[in-house]
Amino acid sequence: MNAPLPASRPAPLTAPRAGAAASRTDAARRIDASARLRGAGPLGDLADFPDWFAEHARRAYTRVERVGLDELDGWVSDPATGDLGHHTGRFFTVHGLAVEHPDAAVPRWTQPIILQPEIGVLGLLVSRIGGVLHALVQAKVEPGNANGLQISPTVQATRSNYTRVHQGRAVPYLEHFLDAHRRPGVLADVRQSEQGSWFYRKRNRNMVVELPEPIEAGEGYRWLTVGQIHELLGREDTVNMDSRTVLSCLPFTGPAPESDDDPDPFRRALRRSGDPAAGSLHTMEEILGWITHRRTGEDLATRRIPLDDLTGWTREKDRIRHEGGAFFEVIGVRVEAGGREVRQWSQPMIEPVGQGVIAFLARRVEGVLHVLVGARVEPGFTDEVELGPTVQCVPESYTGLPEGSLPPFLDVVLGAAPAAVRYDTVLSEEGGRFHRALNRYLVVEAPDGLDTTSPAHRWMTLHQLSDLLRHSHYVNVQARSLIACLHSLYHAG
Amino acid sequence: MNAPLPASRPAPLTAPRAGAAASRTDAARRIDASARLRGAGPLGDLADFPDWFAEHARRAYTRVERVGLDELDGWVSDPATGDLGHHTGRFFTVHGLAVEHPDAAVPRWTQPIILQPEIGVLGLLVSRIGGVLHALVQAKVEPGNANGLQISPTVQATRSNYTRVHQGRAVPYLEHFLDAHRRPGVLADVRQSEQGSWFYRKRNRNMVVELPEPIEAGEGYRWLTVGQIHELLGREDTVNMDSRTVLSCLPFTGPAPESDDDPDPFRRALRRSGDPAAGSLHTMEEILGWITHRRTGEDLATRRIPLDDLTGWTREKDRIRHEGGAFFEVIGVRVEAGGREVRQWSQPMIEPVGQGVIAFLARRVEGVLHVLVGARVEPGFTDEVELGPTVQCVPESYTGLPEGSLPPFLDVVLGAAPAAVRYDTVLSEEGGRFHRALNRYLVVEAPDGLDTTSPAHRWMTLHQLSDLLRHSHYVNVQARSLIACLHSLYHAG
């Protein structure tokens, strides 16, 4: 049972951790001081961003054509299993997974899943320019994106990429990340999971590396202030998933509470939430104990099976779909991507059946914003349970099921009064593997009196989530996106 | 390449983290204040411990008889694979493992390994009595121990234990741990690995739970101060492995440096090392980045194989042994354990071929003790690499190999001047699975001028290790034992 949080009269916070704001390392502390600065840096104002972005959108494009799963150049269906793989054995494989989860509403099922065991690099180069933290971002097209061009991190490379299986050109700026352990300046370097419903134990290395001086931004790259990127997070489908997950691994705090004269108590509470000196409803020991309890209590078992042995799924010429029309399809695409050079390739992709809802309920507790995290079990997680959003689902997948089967708090999120909706933006998931995987990301203030007692949920502050994000496998990719999105609310809009 | 540490002129520490001593949660902070108190508590003085211990040693005993692997009551060899398992499917299985580790000195091998997928509980109840932290320990016999009776934690239970597969009596005090997530008072609750060379991905839940008031110590149990347990860690083979690993998960710091009038600079540096306010050679971001680098760089692959398919191992009537006489044997034993009741059972056990050497090199850097941790790859680790001691090996296993194949720093440890050897005690590994698995645990001050540059080693403080011990899979069980042992040096002897 959860320690209940009285809805209208919050429990007192644990004693604020005096002096804890200073307990980060030097490097991170300096970020705390600079991240609140935003707007124009010496390398450009956000005002000319639309022109720069439009200019690249004209030159860079992808054309995506649906093709049969047996017509994908370079891809083969294993005759014994039906598994889809590249003839080189690299990139990724689509196979079947049998899941047993006795405690769940659906205690057993099978599904297709992507196996991509290589650990890639999602790397962001940052540098302080005039005391303001800047990051080197890329305008990148990916075939799955509805809005082709998005802001991506400096480097976004699978191991196949950088060992040149693609036989393309070298990955620009990659050397700064592969050599990072030899030098100071690593602000974050942690392996994090990706979609546990679609990937089997996929992990990417999320890295932020600081350079003493900015280096030249190549064609298609640009230095933006971190504040500018946060501002772009408020625009539909502009900042890609890889940027969001890397940014979530950086700790941020706003101005000291005593000098924070923002008239909006939500924004003040949000900034305090990032400050390790602020209190929290639960101690970190309680949170860690709860996670251990959830992880030892779940009897999840997964087993690889042949793609041909799925139950409840149909393989058609150009897709594998769920017989009930739920969840997602595996489709085949032929891609032409153009920019400075033109490349063509084919690949399978995953396309969800509907737009997902990914939301944090948020609540101010004694002036410190808390978000309601949910302990989620996803079959592809390396460690069975990770912390996710309050709500994470594709409502279409529940069509035809009894009313009570909808996830808890979905009704609260979708029925919230407009003033309670603090963030509401549609964003894409990773456009290299997922086709038109759009989710509606929301941050919603919980109504007074809402009972949030749930063994699978806990109220946490942003500084607690930041602490966990220094380590692998605690926070899932959807929650990491939401954490990045929360930063776009830091500044009076 | 490692950031080199000039041997005679250490690099300056990272800026001490001002105020960080106060950044622990309330509960843990209170331990910091009380752990330095030791000696007699209101529940007894260590002076009568030998009588109490001897009294229980008279009543409790185990008799262990070697028997054939096919004569183990309740155990069967799978006819298809030779794997040894209990007929109920519970407890554990001995199967084969094929390991490929291209970068290692031995790039591929096979070996027997224990599969015990259940997560057990190693739990310590603690309470403050007269302001001094006490722990409820048990005098427990286990068949593998050379010295039959040892101090064990309050609870030491496999899941088979507590779901009553043994059909024995209920595990005393277990309810305090299974319910811990419902109450405050959890000081530690984290899954940790055990011997990665002998267990395949085994994890136990290490828990410390504080009670507001001490409860009655049952027959065979006794409250000791944590300081007393630390003192017992200095005695040969007295505190068992499960106690050591649980104790290592508790943070401790000594008196404030300015009031520490200990004349011994090593002990002063040791106590400062546990204090989060003390500096460190590397920032935590650098340490975490190095761990991520090691973990993404290792191409370790393991594959379960039938026990009958081992290469280089021979199965005899009563054991499975390595043909070169190296490493360990799988043996069969019949056990009679007596105390208040008499129980008999049979089981396979692992018996190493020689006594191991497990050592930390230690160095004072600007008055803060650092230990040289090694990034170890063991085939049974859940996450490929964990931090281990500076040296961890069974020297007998290297017999016949060329001189240069001995592990780095073994010669330094074994050749140290007596004054440099700060801890040197033989301790047992877990006596429920391992037969006479004795290791010599050492803490040795590194000689001036020793070059410790190594890509697989880093100097770390105790407070950095304590931080990592709040999370799973960072610190291996041998290093955790050494961390517990270091606490026995906290007090002037």
Q: In this complex, is the C-beta atom of B286 within 8 Å of any C-beta atom belonging to chain A?
A: yes
CA distance A277 to A21: 5
Banded pLDDT at B227 (limits 50, 70, 90) = confident
Banded pLDDT at B24 (limits 50, 70, 90) = very low
Q: What's the rounded mean pLDDT across residues B327-349?
A: 91
Beta-bridge partners for B85: B76, B93
For the segment B116-139, what is each residue's pLDDT rounded down to a tens digit?
988 999 999 999 988 889 999 999
Banded pLDDT at B13 (limits 50, 70, 90) = low
pLDDT at B273 (0 to 100): 94
Which of B223, B200, B196, B3 is CA-nearest to residue B129? B223
Q: Does position B12 have pLDDT exceeding 80, yes or no?
A: no
Q: In this complex, is the C-beta atom of A303 within 8 Å of any C-beta atom belonging to chain B?
A: no
Banded pLDDT at A42 (limits 50, 70, 90) = very low
pLDDT at A13 (0 to 100): 61
The answer to whether position A43 is within a domain reads yes
Helices A462-469 and A265-273: angle between axes, nearest 10 degrees: 30
Identity of the residue numbered A473 = H
Beta-bridge partners for A96: A112, A305
Q: Does position A347 have pLDDT exceeding 60, yes or no?
A: yes
Taking an 8 Å cut-off on Cβ atoms, the answer to whether A283 and B18 are in contact is no
Phi-psi region of A8 (alpha: psi -120 to 50; beta: other; left: phi over 0): alpha
Banded pLDDT at A33 (limits 50, 70, 90) = very low
The answer to whether position B15 is within a domain reads no
**Chain B neighbors of A191, CB-CB under 8 A:** 292, 295-296
For the segment A212-267, what is each residue's pLDDT rounded down to a tens digit?
999 999 999 999 998 889 889 999 999 999 999 999 998 776 667 777 889 999 99
**Chain A: closest CA distance from residue B466 (Å):** 13
Q: In this complex, is the C-beta atom of B328 within 8 Å of any C-beta atom belonging to chain A?
A: no
B348 three-state secondary structure: strand
**Chain B: closest CA distance from residue A430 (Å):** 21
pLDDT at B434 (0 to 100): 97
Of A23, A286, A295, the CB nearest to B186: A286
**Model ipTM value:** 0.90
Instruction: Measure CA of the first residue to CA of the last residue in chain A; give whole Å.
Output: 39
pLDDT at A20 (0 to 100): 36
* pLDDT, greater one: B121 or B38: B121
Q: Are B370 and B274 in contact (CB under 8 A)?
A: no
Taking an 8 Å cut-off on Cβ atoms, the answer to whether B285 and A189 are in contact is yes
The answer to whether position A385 is within a domain reads yes
The kind and range of the H/E element at B426 are strand B421-428
What is the DSSP-derived secondary structure letter of residue B163? T
Helices A462-469 and A284-297: angle between axes, nearest 10 degrees: 60
Q: Does position A446 have pLDDT exceeding 50, yes or no?
A: yes
Which of A436, A382, A330, A337 is CA-nearest to residue A93? A330
Banded pLDDT at B15 (limits 50, 70, 90) = very low
Range A331-366 burial, b when 16+ CB lie within 10 A, else e? bbbbbebebeeeeebbbbbbbbbbebbbbbbbbbbb
**Chain A neighbors of B276, CB-CB under 8 A:** 23
Who contacts A418 (Cβ-Cβ below 8 Å, separation ≥6)? none
Taking an 8 Å cut-off on Cβ atoms, the answer to whether A26 and B184 are in contact is no
Helices A462-469 and A477-487: angle between axes, nearest 10 degrees: 130
> Mean pLDDT across chain B, nearest whole number?
87
- Among A22-26, A419-423, B386-390, name the one with the lowest average pLDDT: A22-26
Q: Does position B249 have pLDDT exceeding 90, yes or no?
A: yes
CA distance A37 to A281: 29
CA atoms A335, A337, A343, A348: torsion sign: negative
Q: Does position B8 have pLDDT exceeding 60, yes or no?
A: no
Task: Select from B177, B290, B293 the residue whose CB has the most chain A CBs within 10 Å, as the one to mutate to test that interface.
Answer: B293
**Chain A: closest CA distance from residue B182 (Å):** 6
pLDDT at B168 (0 to 100): 60
Give the range of the structural domain holding residue B407, as residue numbers without chain letter: 29-63+117-300+353-487
CA distance A477 to A466: 14
Taking an 8 Å cut-off on Cβ atoms, the answer to whether B285 and A23 are in contact is no
* pLDDT, greater one: B158 or A63: A63
Taking an 8 Å cut-off on Cβ atoms, the answer to whether A288 and B26 are in contact is no
Banded pLDDT at B363 (limits 50, 70, 90) = very high
The DSSP annotation for A180-236 comes to GGGSS-EEEEEEEE--TTTEES-EEEEEEEE-SS-----TTEEEEEHHHHHHHTTST
Q: Are A115 and A196 in contact (CB under 8 A)?
A: no
Taking an 8 Å cut-off on Cβ atoms, the answer to whether A289 and B186 are in contact is yes
Q: What's the rounded mean pLDDT across residues A283-301?
A: 92
Which of B15, B11, B10, B21 is CA-nearest to residue B257? B21
Q: Does position A161 have pLDDT exceeding 80, yes or no?
A: no
Banded pLDDT at A493 (limits 50, 70, 90) = low
Of A26, A286, A295, the CB nearest to B184: A286
pLDDT at B312 (0 to 100): 96
Which residue from A minimizes the CA distance to B474? Answer: A471
Q: Are B319 and B69 in contact (CB under 8 A)?
A: yes
For the segment A162-190, what is each residue's pLDDT rounded down to a tens digit?
665 555 668 999 999 998 988 889 999 99
**Chain B: closest CA distance from residue A478 (Å):** 22
**Chain A neighbors of B287, CB-CB under 8 A:** none
A460 three-state secondary structure: strand
pLDDT at A341 (0 to 100): 77
pLDDT at A236 (0 to 100): 92
Q: Does position A436 have pLDDT exceeding 70, yes or no?
A: yes
The answer to whether position A340 is within a domain reads no
Of B18, B20, B186, the CB nearest to A285: B186
For the segment B157-199, what is each residue's pLDDT rounded down to a tens digit?
987 776 655 556 689 999 999 989 888 899 999 999 999 999 9
Q: What's the rounded mean pLDDT across residues A360-383?
A: 96
For the segment A377-419, what is each residue's pLDDT rounded down to a tens digit?
999 999 999 999 999 999 988 887 777 788 999 999 999 999 9
Q: Does position A158 have pLDDT exceeding 70, yes or no?
A: yes
* pLDDT, greater one: A97 or B39: A97
β-bridge pairing A356-365 and A391-393: antiparallel
Taking an 8 Å cut-off on Cβ atoms, the answer to whether B205 and A292 are in contact is yes
Side-chain half-sphere CA neighbours of B266 within 13 A = 21
CA distance A8 to A407: 23
CA distance A214 to A177: 15
CA atoms A463, A467, A470, A471: torsion sign: negative
Count of domains for chain A: 1
Taking an 8 Å cut-off on Cβ atoms, the answer to whether A18 and B19 are in contact is yes
Taking an 8 Å cut-off on Cβ atoms, the answer to whether A14 and B28 are in contact is no
Taking an 8 Å cut-off on Cβ atoms, the answer to whether A27 and B295 are in contact is no
Q: Does position A441 have pLDDT exceeding 50, yes or no?
A: yes
Q: Does position B29 have pLDDT exceeding 60, yes or no?
A: no
**Chain A neighbors of B188, CB-CB under 8 A:** 285
Separation in Å, CA A465 to CA A208, A421, A440, B23, B251: 17, 21, 21, 16, 21
Banded pLDDT at A34 (limits 50, 70, 90) = very low
**Chain B: closest CA distance from residue A161 (Å):** 16
Beta-bridge partners for B419: none
Q: Are A430 and A242 in contact (CB under 8 A)?
A: yes
Token pair belonging to B452: 């410790």
**Chain B neighbors of A300, CB-CB under 8 A:** none
The answer to whether position B183 is within a domain reads yes
The answer to whether position B330 is within a domain reads no
Taking an 8 Å cut-off on Cβ atoms, the answer to whether B19 and A20 are in contact is yes
The answer to whether position A339 is within a domain reads no
**Chain B neighbors of A181, CB-CB under 8 A:** 289-290, 293
Taking an 8 Å cut-off on Cβ atoms, the answer to whether B22 and A26 are in contact is no
Which of B342, B394, B365 is CA-nearest to residue B460? B365
Of B19, B119, B293, the CB nearest to A296: B119
Of B18, B292, B471, the CB nearest to A205: B292
Instruction: State what percent of residues in chain A have pLDDT above 70.
Output: 88
Q: What's the rounded mean pLDDT across residues A100-125?
A: 93
Q: Are B134 and B223 in contact (CB under 8 A)?
A: yes
Most confident of A309-323, A387-401, B148-162, B328-342: A309-323
Query: Tell me, what CATH number does B212's domain have?
Result: 3.90.79.40
Q: What's the rounded mean pLDDT across residues A280-288?
A: 94
Which residue from A minimizes the CA distance to B249? Answer: A285
pLDDT at A70 (0 to 100): 94
Taking an 8 Å cut-off on Cβ atoms, the answer to whether B285 and A19 are in contact is no
Q: In this complex, is the C-beta atom of B401 within 8 Å of any C-beta atom belonging to chain A?
A: no
pLDDT at B22 (0 to 100): 32
The answer to whether position A424 is within a domain reads yes
Q: In this complex, is the C-beta atom of B11 within 8 Å of any C-beta atom belonging to chain A?
A: no
Q: In this complex, is the C-beta atom of B457 within 8 Å of any C-beta atom belonging to chain A?
A: no
Banded pLDDT at A44 (limits 50, 70, 90) = low
* pLDDT, greater one: B99 or A342: B99
**Chain B: closest CA distance from residue A99 (Å):** 17
